[in-house]
Amino acid sequence: MVRNKDQSVGHFHVPIRRCSAEELHDTLGGLERVGAGRLGLRLAGLLRELLRTGGLPAGTLMPPSRSVAETFGVSRGVVVTAYEQLLAEGFLIARQGAGTRVADSVTAATPAAMPSLPPPMARPGLPDLGGFPRARWLAAYRHVLMTMSSADFGYGDPRGHQQLRAELAVYLRRTRGAVIEPERVVVVNGVAEGLALLADVVAATGRPRIAVEDPASPGARELMARRGLAVVGVPVDDEGIVVDAIPEPGRLGAILLTPAHQYPTGVILSPARRRALIELAREHVVLLVEDDYDGAFRYARDPVGCLQGLAPDVTVLLGSVSKTLAPALRLGWLVAPRAWQEQLVARRVVTSLAGQAMDELAFAHLLLTGGYDIHVRQMRRRYHKRRMHLVAELDAAEPEVVVRGDASGLHLLAELPPRVGEHTVLSSLRLNGFDVQGLAECRVACPPDAPGGLVIGYAALSPGSITRLVSVLSQAMG
């Protein structure tokens, strides 16, 4: 849209890029009438975007304000206002006798490529988002907006709204067997924020080492490492974390574990291991960090109570609604021993000045009225059916594949036979839109003879998707 004309400068000919008013009009189109006194800002905005996207390269000579005004059918003052705005912002420069030009510092912005998000099908830990209780949540929100005080719109308590902390204390005592009082609860933006707060506090103790289950969630391991902790893997067997294999417990600051439904193997921490772990923590002054992963969803029997209920003096309990309601809510909780409470709250004041009062109060209303319990029971039945469907199809199509772990949670571990390469099956599934995780990705240390496996999230899979997943898996196994 610009044209060049040579201008003699000494012995050289320097090309001048010129833009005419007509070309500018063809590019921008007409000016929408947005009210008196605002056309100049409207024109400035259109020109600014054109400059940012490279439509007017650096050095381009802008058309005179009078000709632009005539072409666009506006007063000259509108164009002068637009030019002055862009001059003030540094997009244009003006010199006496040389006209108005695009500044040399203006370069076209290259749009950043949007990251391609993995498909959600079969992603471990993803609930059925279509099952979100919209009507109940909307009713709770309406109730909150009608009843919350003006003070509730402020920064509030860094631990979270008192009403939610009170309801959570009742709920966690009743359903998880936790030892908990409202003042001990800290509402966080999901388990990830809770882990980040804990990592920072552990790192400051002088023992910046944390033991994790092996295998475990790669995301949790990476988070710990990024917060400055040295991560040590501890093997897991059919009874959970092998306590006797924890290296140098006296040098550890914390141990991170998922006792209710170990991720990704699905085993439940046995009573004997729970006792041994508590003894170790008390003897060596090690903090136990309990991610209550999938604690609400157990199908064959009643849910196992949390570890924190046995040892509240050495255990932090972490939980969230990401699996029971939706990850987008970013609502979680952290219950720490009294010795750690003050440091964690002080750290949260720095990172989160205010909570999400309306979401917190809406969730508190669901807890108080029983709506949350009803929803969890409904989803528990739905997820149980999908798990049974997946297990039955795997057993019928590929009896060599062994399903490991307890009938709990939103995922299962499908162990592959030695003849089948994990990477081959994983690649085929992902090419067909299934975001399945490989067992090797979860291992801290991966022995050469370690069995391959697939961590399959089934909660969000329809019956047809389950059938297609098993078909793809079967074809890849040959």
Q: What is the pLDDT of residues 340-361, one digit of tens each?
A: 999 999 988 887 877 789 999 9
What's the whole-model pTM score? 0.77
Whether 120 is in a domain gets the answer: no
Q: Do 323 and 349 lie in a common domain?
A: yes
Domain extent, residue 417, equals 375-477
| Domain end residue (candidates: 357, 373, 389) | 373
Q: Is residue 117 part of a domain?
A: no
Residue 289 lies in a domain: yes
Whether 55 maps to a domain, the answer reads yes
Q: Report the alpha-carbon distance of residue 470 to residue 463 in Å, rounded.
A: 11
How many domains in the chain? 3
- Asked, as a colleague might, if the bond just before 264 is cis with ω within 30 of 0, I would say yes
Task: Write down which residue in 373, 402, 424 finishes a domain.
Answer: 373
Rounded to whole angstroms, the Cα distance separating 124 from 414 reads: 12
Q: Are residues 71 and 184 in the same domain?
A: no
Q: Which of 373, 408, 443 is the last residue of a domain?
A: 373
CATH number at residue 387: 3.90.1150.10
Same domain, 337 and 418: no
**Domain annotation covers residue 300:** yes
CATH number of the CATH domain containing 227: 3.40.640.10
**304 with 409, same domain?**
no
The answer on 171 and 63 residing in a single domain is no
Q: What is the pLDDT of residues 354-413, one digit of tens each?
A: 778 999 999 999 999 999 999 999 999 999 999 999 999 999 999 999 999 999 999 999
Q: Is residue 121 one of the residues assigned to a domain?
A: no
Mean of all residue pLDDT scores within the chain: 89
- Residues 284, 386: one domain? no
Q: Do 161 and 244 fall into the same domain?
A: yes
Same domain, 396 and 346: no
Same domain, 152 and 264: yes
CATH of the domain at 76: 1.10.10.10
Radius of gyration of the chain, Cα coordinates, nearest whole angstrom: 30
Percent of the chain with pLDDT over 90: 67
Are residues 292 and 358 both part of a single domain?
yes
> Which residue pairs from 161-169 have beta carbons closer than 8 angstroms and sit at least 24 positions apart in sequence?
161/187, 161/355, 161/357, 161/360, 161/361, 161/364, 163/360, 163/361, 163/364, 164/360, 164/361, 164/363, 164/364, 164/367, 166/364, 167/363, 167/364, 167/367, 167/368, 168/333, 168/364, 168/367
pLDDT in tens, 288-319: 999 998 889 999 888 889 999 999 999 999 99
Task: Indicate whether 414 and 472 sit together in one domain.
Answer: yes
Same domain, 384 and 357: no
